[in-house]
């Protein structure tokens, strides 16, 4: 295996120089053009004197791919923040990772306002950069990328992934799914997700496969791209497959080329799986992973599938299910999922205590997820990280929303849970007790949330209560609250 992602990318580009690498709308780049463009971006970054860490806020596109590899080839570390986050959240990430430069697009100009960072629009930067004589690749930083995941108390955590971490996971995916240069992948998930970054950017760039990039998810456009480009692999979250299922019902598309439709990020529902399998002869392959594991831990494959499990562990990824004492729970017994292997992160940026909490002395990552392993080695997820809500593939922690709503002058007490959502899988719901004599509507509180957190975190429902049920220690008893315990609806 190559020592760095950039080295593997350049080796692949040399081997498959005239093969199509990127398809972005009507723009097509060969591997030679892809590598040359990335090296030119690297030289332009050197010319600007960019700092060690460069933030990228770009949609899934050729400019994003060129920026990502250009930053790496310059010896720097790319940091792609979630561009759906609110200004406060983005500002925290920029400060936390000490990025001195932000590459973005005019479309995100409003979101970039107020960030304490030198901001460059890719529409201005890229044409000039591509005229710059290509640089010689620099010695890569030990870190390959810093990817931010939601914090359990509202503080995003920077997951530090090395070149070895990401390459190990990409190579394990290649072996597990039997990827070859003949595969055509569709990249539609945002590339700030490690799921997308590893499987639809790094993986094809290091084996010589073609990737079709789409800046936004639009069901009819995705189906058209699958047919037009004979896409073999789609990497998506279940809510996307549900939207595709609805679009297919209106106008069926030829899906014969699609042999590796991979799903992750949230549980795949039975109706989606069975509709694709029975009506369209497409078997969706569900998997499981975390940002901290670069990300894929386990997945079903065409040759080894067990519906409603997340498949078997990838090669060179060790998975244990343990009881409260850290001992193996046994076959078909629920326990916490622990993961060990070269793809496990280096740690959380600037958070040594939280890193210590999740990494054991012998290299296992305590995922906090609950699952069981059956006699055939298939992993089934049976529980969640504490109270985490998975909303259209995004991790949302109730505590983060609770802290925001608690800042509203009319709110005395708040509790947030996840509820089923037909489009997004799950969505946040807030229960609120108002202060004596205070007034606020659900619209008021939702608007307050929108000014402080990302839109996908804003509660889809707000229910007002006179009071909450509490434990003897004062903890809100959310289960009783959901069942309509003491303190019925206020309005």
488 in a domain, yes or no?
Answer: no
Average pLDDT of 332-336? 92
Residue 154 banded pLDDT, cuts 50, 70, 90: low
pLDDT at residue 311, as a whole number: 98
487 in a domain, yes or no?
Answer: no
pLDDT at residue 473, as a whole number: 45
Mark whether 278 and 200 lie in a shared domain.
yes
Among residues 317, 351, 381, the one where a domain terminates is 381
**pLDDT reading at 257 higher than 80:** yes
Domain assignment of residue 419, given as a range = 389-482
Q: Residue 230, class by beta-carbon neighbours within 10 Å (0-12 exposed, 13-18 middle, 19+ buried)?
A: middle
pTM for this predicted structure: 0.86
CATH number at residue 139: 3.40.50.12780
pLDDT at residue 398, as a whole number: 85
* Four-CA torsion 66, 68, 74, 79, nearest 10 degrees: 150
pLDDT at residue 382, as a whole number: 84
pLDDT at residue 385, as a whole number: 66
Mark whether 413 and 283 lie in a shared domain.
no
Residue 119 falls in which region: left (phi positive, over 0), alpha (psi -120 to 50) or beta: beta
Residue-wise burial string across 262-271, b where 16 or more C-beta atoms lie within 10 A, e elsewhere? bbbbbbbbee
Phi, psi of 283 (to 5 degrees): -100, 110
Mark whether 400 and 300 lie in a shared domain.
no
Among residues 327, 350, 381, the one where a domain terminates is 381
If we measure between CA atoms, which residue out of 206, 161, 172 comes closest to residue 299?
172
Q: Classify strands 411-421 and 425-434 as parallel, antiparallel or unpaired.
A: antiparallel
Indicate the number of domains in the chain: 2
Mark whether 328 and 399 lie in a shared domain.
no
If we measure between CA atoms, which residue out of 150, 56, 64, 135 comes closest to residue 99?
56
pLDDT at residue 153, as a whole number: 53
| DSSP 8-state class, residue 470 | B
Average pLDDT of 419-432? 92
- Condensed to tens digits (0 to 9), the pLDDT of residues 14-35 reads 999 999 999 999 999 999 999 9
Bridge partners of 29, per DSSP, are 22
CATH number at residue 406: 3.30.300.30
Average pLDDT of 350-359? 96
Mark whether 31 and 50 lie in a shared domain.
yes
Mark whether 403 and 442 lie in a shared domain.
yes
Residue 472 banded pLDDT, cuts 50, 70, 90: low
Please compute Rg for the chain using Cα positions: 23
pLDDT at residue 488, as a whole number: 45
**pLDDT reading at 390 higher than 60:** yes
Average pLDDT of 216-231? 96
- Condensed to tens digits (0 to 9), the pLDDT of residues 234-249 reads 999 988 999 999 999 8
**pLDDT reading at 275 higher than 90:** yes
Mark whether 149 and 250 lie in a shared domain.
yes
Mark whether 159 and 257 lie in a shared domain.
yes
Residue 489 banded pLDDT, cuts 50, 70, 90: very low
Mark whether 374 and 401 lie in a shared domain.
no
Average pLDDT of 145-172? 89
- Condensed to tens digits (0 to 9), the pLDDT of residues 66-101 reads 999 999 999 999 999 999 888 889 999 999 999 999
If we measure between CA atoms, which residue out of 72, 24, 10, 47 comes closest to residue 133?
47
Question: Using CA atoms, how far apart are residues 33 and 152, in angstroms rounded to an integer?
Answer: 42
Mark whether 298 and 438 lie in a shared domain.
no
| DSSP 8-state class, residue 1 | -
317 in a domain, yes or no?
Answer: yes
**pLDDT reading at 340 higher than 70:** yes
pLDDT at residue 481, as a whole number: 81
The residues near 194 (Cβ < 8 Å, ≥ 6 apart) are: 147, 159, 161, 289, 291, 294, 295
491 in a domain, yes or no?
Answer: no
The mean-pLDDT minimum among 75-84, 139-148, 469-478 falls in 469-478
């Amino acid at each position: 295996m190559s020592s760095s992602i950039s080295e593997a990318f350049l080796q692949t580009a040399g081997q498959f120089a005239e093969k199509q690498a990127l398809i972005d709308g009507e723009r097509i780049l060969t591997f030679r053009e892809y590598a040359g463009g990335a090296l030119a971006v690297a030289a332009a970054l050197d010319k600007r004197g960019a700092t060690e860490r460069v933030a990228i806020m770009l949609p899934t596109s050729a400019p994003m791919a060129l920026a990502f590899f250009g930053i790496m080839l310059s010896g720097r570390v790319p940091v792609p923040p979630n561009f759906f986050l609110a200004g406060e959240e983005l500002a925290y990430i920029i400060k936390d990772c000490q990025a001195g430069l932000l590459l973005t697009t005019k479309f995100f100009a409003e979101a970039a306002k107020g960030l304490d960072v030198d901001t460059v629009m890719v529409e201005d930067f890229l044409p000039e950069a591509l005229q710059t004589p290509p640089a010689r690749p620099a010695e890569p930083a030990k870190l390959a990328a810093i990817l931010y995941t939601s914090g359990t108390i509202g503080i995003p955590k920077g997951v530090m992934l090395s070149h070895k971490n990401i390459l190990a996971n990409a190579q394990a995916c290649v072996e597990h799914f039997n990827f070859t240069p003949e595969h055509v992948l569709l990249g539609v998930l945002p590339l700030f997700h490690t799921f997308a970054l590893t499987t639809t950017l790094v993986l094809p760039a290091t084996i010589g496969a073609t990737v079709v990039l789409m800046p936004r998810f639009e069901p009819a456009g995705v189906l058209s791209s699958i047919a037009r480009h004979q896409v073999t692999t789609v990497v998506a979250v279940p809510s996307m497959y549900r939207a595709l299922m609805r679009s297919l019902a209106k106008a069926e598309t030829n899906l014969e080329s699609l042999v590796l439709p991979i799903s992750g990020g949230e549980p795949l529902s039975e109706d989606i799986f069975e509709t694709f399998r029975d009506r369209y002869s497409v078997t969706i392959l569900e998997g499981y992973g975390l940002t901290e594991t670069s990300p894929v831990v386990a997945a079903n494959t065409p040759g080894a599938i067990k519906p409603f499990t997340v498949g078997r562990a990838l090669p060179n990824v060790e998975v244990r299910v343990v009881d409260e004492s850290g001992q193996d729970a046994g076959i078909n017994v629920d326990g916490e999922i622990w993961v060990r292997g070269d793809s496990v992160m280096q740690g959380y940026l600037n958070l040594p205590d939280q890193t210590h909490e999740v990494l054991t002395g012998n290299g296992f990552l305590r995922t906090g997820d609950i699952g069981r392993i059956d006699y055939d080695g298939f992993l089934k997820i049976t529980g969640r990280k504490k109270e985490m809500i998975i909303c259209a593939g995004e991790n949302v922690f109730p505590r983060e929303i609770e802290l925001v709503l608690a800042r509203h002058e009319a709110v005395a007490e708040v509790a947030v849970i996840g509820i089923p959502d037909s489009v997004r899988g799950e969505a946040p719901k807030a229960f609120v007790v108002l202060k004596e004599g205070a007034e606020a509507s659900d619209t008021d509180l939702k608007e307050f949330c929108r000014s402080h957190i990302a839109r996908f975190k804003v509660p889809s429902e707000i229910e007002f209560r006179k009071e909450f049920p509490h434990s003897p220690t004062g903890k809100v008893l959310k289960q009783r609250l959901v069942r309509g315990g003491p303190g019925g609806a206020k309005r």
